[in-house]
A and B are shown apart, each in its own frame.
Chain A
Amino acid sequence: MNDFTDPTECLLRLHDEQFALEDYQGGVPRWCAGCGDNAILSAVQRLCRDENLRPEKTVFVSGIGCSSRFPHYMKTYGLHGIHGRALPLAEGIRMTRPDLDVFVNTGDGDCCSIGAAHWIHAIRYNMRMVVMLHDNRIYGLTKKQASPTSPIGLKSNTTPRGSWLDALNPLTVTLGVQNVSFVAQAVDWIPEQLYAILQAAYHHKGLAFVRILQRCTEWLPKLFDEAVRDPAHVQLLHHERGLSISPALAKIYPNRLEHDPRDINRAREIASETDPIPVGILYHNPDVPCYEDLRHHGLGQHTPERIRAGLEAEFDKFTIHPHTAAAAE
């Protein structure tokens, strides 16, 4: 149906609000000064404004952690959930309310440790949402414990003599799951690409998984120092089907790689690189079906008449036919 057949509707559209940044700014962030989460918040608020998302039609869902405070700082709807469960909470919202835009903010502990089962299954469900993994490679909120993505040997409060295990790579894990449809990596200190990646993620029809390397100035102030200071440690990905790189950015980052985001094998290779850090869209397949579309038959067309008809049909199945009636049949 054409939305614009009704003239009053046209008029309404004409006067549709144009939202400003302030319309998305909720509580004053309480993150530490210099925390990478601030940069992510700014990029997201800009994205909401540029896409003119209606605040009442937008939901930010999170688990628990510093990064998971995110919904409180947005002036949209939000669900600040429980540790590790942001994804299933978001899936429930997405399933019953396809009219809402759903964003998920989750930490490396939240997503890759306590919520790891949900992470894998969320990739497989491929429900439309933007998932931002705020990967500071440490537990921030609980004061410096090793996370699954902590570099091997990292000294933390639970690994005072250095962590024992090699870091889990969220990109390769995600790229190994059936139905993966969008995987990107961003860093908080290149806001231009962070924004561009989030924008591409927003437009993806499916689950867009964006790992964002995020600085925790409080517990690991030096972890990303080298990469931040020396552009040679970053490799920008570009492609006509992916992102372009502005001349200004190109001037700073000589290390660039043309990569077709349709190529999953190459994506997996790039994902295993840790130095230089690949930044951009690693994988994008717009054709993977979304669970909510597969399951949505009739959902929302739930009228009392329909329920009654369905219920009576079920009652009929169980209704017993008394002896006399049976004999008459």
Chain B
Amino acid sequence: MNEVVLTAESPARKAREPVVLSEHIIEVISDSGEGAQRCGQSLGAIAARSGNGVWTVEIIPAEIRPPARSVAGASGNRIRIGTHRITNGGGKTDLVVAFNEQVLLGRVHAGELKPGATILLEDMWRENRDPAIVEAYRRVHDQLIAAGYDVREIPMERECRKLVSDAKRGKNMFALGMICRIYSFSPEVAHDQIGRTFAKKGAKVIDQNVMLFDAGYAWAGENIDLHYMIPSSPAAGPQMVINGNQALALGVLASGMELCAMYPITPATSASHYLSDVFENVGGMVHQAEDEISAASFALGASYAGKCTVTITSGPGLSLKQEALGLAVMGEVPMVVIDVQRGGPSTGQPTKVEQGDMFSVMFGSHGDAPKVVMAPSTIEECFHSVITARRIAETFRMVVVILSDASLATSQQPVPRPEFDPAWVAAPLDLSPVGEGAKPYDWDAETGLSRRFIPGQPGGMFAMTGLAHDRASHVAYDPEINQTSLRARSLKLAALERTLRPPKVHGPEEGDLLVMGWGSTRGAIEEAVDGLIAEGHRVASVNLTFLQPMQPGLKEIMQRYRRVMTIEGNYSDDPADAIINADNRRYSHLAMLLRARTLVDVDCWSEVKGQPIKPDTIRSVMLERLKGDAS
């Protein structure tokens, strides 16, 4: 569906008129520290400013300073640029700029490049003093050509050295210039973007980078016979280019929360970095605690004493926070927990995407500890989910968990600039007296809700406790009390569910196959669905923003399709495995939940390769299921 018209005209011919593309995926990769990241981000910004749809994915090595020229050391960006809004990283790469052949090899081995993809390869290694490097370079180069890639050796180093003494600083701008020329991006926009990127470094640095950009632009014009154009369709209102972690942090600001307590952990930390930088401007603060247990407890103490607080973490940190979350549930203290999921279990794949924490947040802590669980599915939703979470937490006296993931965290996209709404912001602390005889857990018989007492409120004095307690927070010795209080805390989920609307269906209201998903897979699922619909298939998808409680009306929607399945980024058994059968098959998380809740025979497909699931992969899975349906 996104097959791109690569050769509407032969690229070998030096085309005057650029070849028009509906989209392309471009990668810029280097050893870490060589600036490929900045080049890629700038390209994303230039494309977005030109009105194109953009989705930028960071390519991050697992180590901070991997050895130079290593297969596992690729650092850079992958930028998908299209005419229309883009909601995910898409399929395989069309064009890659590589600063050495080894980092490129890593991407080739990972199967990230399209067959025949264009490779713009730094050629300085051919004349290296070290014969081993020369030999390695030649071997890889020849292999790539033999494999059918369109390899073009580029003297980036040599060209840059004509202008600057140290080509390491600036080669990335030369590369940016080449790409902008190839894709017909306006040099003026690029100059302006470079000015903004280096604004803090002063005019001299800006000028040098512009000079290198221009050199790359001119060099490509003379020496590279590729000329493309991806038409744009400018957005209606002002747009911001942000990643999911920045969106979460902005959501924290907007929600009116004042305190974030955290302990560093990938891939959540960048949200706290950004928040640390800006939170104090609006009267908030980030506390880096000695560990996650402390972070959760600190946040809980602050929430107990006043406004709802937030703690940000990822899988291993979440495990450490569980006991404190149980106390928050028991004491009915509002709290927002952000879990930016990564590969697990244990230390797993810290920089890679996975959707494996749904059950641990839902059923974690011990005993019955009902929490609200939400999953933003877009960068825009990352922002709004925090605001909603804070409101739910305070209204229902509950812990609200937001499940993001490594993909949303590091992907960048233009999103509409939000319009500030004063209703986002938490109300100031109300320290007015508590009425005579009022109790801190005066659970409403129908909804389980009760008014929260806050220290400083005269007449409200009570000892919050994690022990089973009655309405007055007295330790419960009465046999009925545990039953009553667990009922109250459970009913709050139902009370919230009653305020939710059924999810929207993407695609036809009825058909042969419904795909259900949650979180960052949404864009890829919807793209696959759109493609199949265009080919005449009767398929649709539903994305669930609320995982606990679930939105109403799901069963009714599911019954309108012949088959229902989930697509998720957590592990599930492959029914084709020899010893897997109907009795022992483990379904993926959402499928298991939906089966239990609706008694519909929901199927699933999932993948845990540490990469966002590609639309093409989903398409194949769906086609296979549709085929099964016909037989």
Contacts and interface: CB of A to CB of B under 8 A. Distances in A.
A120 B300 CA distance: 20
B238 A319 contact: yes
B209 interface: no
A121 B289 CA distance: 9
Contacts of B430: none
Interface in A309-323: 309-315, 318-323
B281 A92 contact: no
Given A92-B301, A323-B50, A74 B281 contact: no
Contacts of A60: 463
A320 B326 CA distance: 43
Nearest to A325: B49
Interface string B242-269: 1000100010011010110100000000
Contacts, number: 216
A297 B293 contact: no
Interface stretch (A7-15, A80-88, A192-200): A80-88
Contacts of A89: 297-298, 300-301, 304
A258 interface: no
Contact of B256 (A59, A80, A307): A307
Interface size class of A (residues with CB under 8 A): 35 or more
B456 A97 contact: yes
B301 A80 contact: no
Contacts of B591: none
A88 B301 contact: yes
B455 A77 contact: yes
A26 B463 contact: yes
Interface residues of B, number: 76
B461 A301 contact: no
A100 B297 contact: no
Nearest to B458: A56
Contacts of B459: 56
A93 B188 contact: no
Interface in A50-89: 54-57, 59-61, 64, 71-72, 74-82, 84-85, 88-89
A88 B293 CA distance: 9
B283 to A, nearest CB: 4
Contacts of B284: 299, 302
A306 interface: yes
Given A311-B250, A314-B278, A97 B466 contact: no
B302 A95 contact: yes
Nearest to B433: A56
Given A80-B466, A311-B253, A320-B49, A92 B327 contact: no
A95 B294 CA distance: 14
B299 A92 contact: yes
Contacts of A84: 293
A304 B256 contact: yes
Contacts of B294: 85, 88, 117-118, 121
Contacts of B303: 92
Contacts of B305: 59, 92-93, 96-97, 100
B466 A82 contact: yes
Interface string B280-291: 111111010111
B289 A88 contact: yes
Contact of A74 (B48, B188, B189, B463): B463
A133 B467 CA distance: 21
B474 interface: yes
B418 interface: yes
Given A92-B300, A329-B192, A76 B461 contact: yes
Contacts of B295: 88
A118 B290 contact: yes
Contacts of A26: 463
A329 B195 CA distance: 12
A144 to B, nearest CB: 21
Contacts of B287: 95, 295
Contacts of B186: 323, 327
A27 interface: yes
Contact of B304 (A27, A93, A313): A93
A299 to B, nearest CB: 6
Contacts of A309: 282
Contacts of A61: 301
A78 B462 contact: yes
Interface in B445-489: 455-467, 474-475
A315 B240 contact: yes
A90 interface: yes
A308 interface: yes
Nearest to A318: B240
Contacts of B261: 92
B304 A326 contact: no
A312 B420 contact: yes
Nearest to A76: B461
Nearest to B460: A56
Contact of A88 (B49, B256, B298, B417): B298
B289, B305, B458: residue with the most chain A Cβ atoms closer than 10 Å? B305
B414 interface: yes
B456 A78 contact: no
A320 B239 CA distance: 6
Interface string B317-344: 0000001101100010000000000000
Contacts of A94: 301
A99 interface: yes
B143 to A, nearest CB: 40
A247 interface: no
A96 B256 contact: no
Interface of B: 45, 48-51, 186, 188-189, 192, 234-235, 238-242, 246, 250, 253-254, 256, 258-259, 261, 278, 280-285, 287, 289-291, 293-295, 297-307, 309, 323-324, 326-327, 331, 414, 417-418, 420, 422, 425, 455-467, 474-475
24 contacts: A72-B474, A77-B461, A80-B463, A88-B301, A96-B259, A96-B307, A97-B305, A117-B290, A118-B297, A121-B294, A295-B285, A298-B283, A299-B258, A299-B284, A304-B425, A307-B254, A311-B250, A315-B240, A319-B239, A320-B45, A320-B48, A320-B241, A322-B50, A322-B239
Given A295-B287, A315-B418, A319-B238, 7 more contacts: A27-B475, A78-B462, A85-B294, A92-B305, A96-B306, A304-B425, A320-B241
